[in-house]
Amino acid sequence: MEDTVDYTGDYTRLFRVDGKRAVVVGAGSGIGREAAKALAAHGAEVVCADRDVDTLKETASGIGATAYPLDLLDRDAVRAAPAELGDVDVLVFTPATNVRRRLIDYSDTEFDRIVDLNLRGAFDLVRAFGRPMSERGRGSIIGFASVRAVMVEPGQGIYAATKAGIVALLRTAAAEFGPHGVRVNAIAPGVTETTMTAPMLTDTERYTAYAQHTALGRWAQPSELAGAVVYLASDAASYVTASMLTVDGGWTAIDGRYEPPD
């Protein structure tokens, strides 16, 4: 089991990840790219993984990281990754897809596409990297869920189901890997300006409605999720596992926007 961490008297290194090898799956863009940049800035040796080779190389070259092409839908490649990459201390994964459609209108192909990437991809990564981490007696796995894991809306049923599934999957992994010194946590973003949400960014009415649902009155930028990644990767979170860290600008705390009279 991983040694107990005690920084009493010296908190200057608390959020550092020096000497840790971190693999960020989805590092080609959005939250994954910012997570990779933040981990590198805090001292980690970063491996950037993504299926988009061009954006992957751009991220990796910008931070002096290793570029590792990886398609989550290629199960053999995912299984082979840990052996090819060597000892990994931190695994972060962000990839997801969505089809906004009512449940009765989904095609079988659309359902399979969302589940295969969002949930099956998460399962394959956790299983592939969790085993060697457990054998070495240390590690931190950080997967991205969503506020949709706990709050739904019409048209996002399958996406929400996969994100709730990721939370349950990661909590189970935390229970199973914990005795071997491996921590497993989820991060649940709220509305964030990424490639996946790009269609909504040009829909002024919807964009504004979503922004006003938050306590801060705005959408998040991908960089605003990076701090949560560094925290969970670092020894500052040495006693944090089986957790869902919500980074949503207050979305899940607010029900309506009625302002009482003066």
Torsion 57-61-62-67 (CA) sign: positive
Query: Among residues 7, 11, 159, 258, which one is catalytic?
Result: 159
Q: Rounded CA gap, 248 and 220, in Å?
A: 8
Host H or E run for residue 57: helix 53-63
Measured at the CA of 200, the angle between CA 192 and CA 35, to 5 degrees, comes to: 25
CA–CA distances in Å: residue 253 to residues 91, 152, 187, 256: 29, 14, 16, 10
Q: Rounded CA gap, 32 and 104, in Å?
A: 32
Smallest CA-to-CA distance from 146 within 156, 154, 138 is with 156
User: What's the order of all strands across the beta sheet hosting 21-25?
Assistant: 66-69, 45-50, 21-25, 90-93, 139-144, 182-189, 244-247
**Active-site residue 159, yes or no?**
yes
**Residue 150: CA count within 13 A, CB half-sphere:** 17
| SS3 of residue 136 by DSSP | helix
**Catalytic site residues?**
159
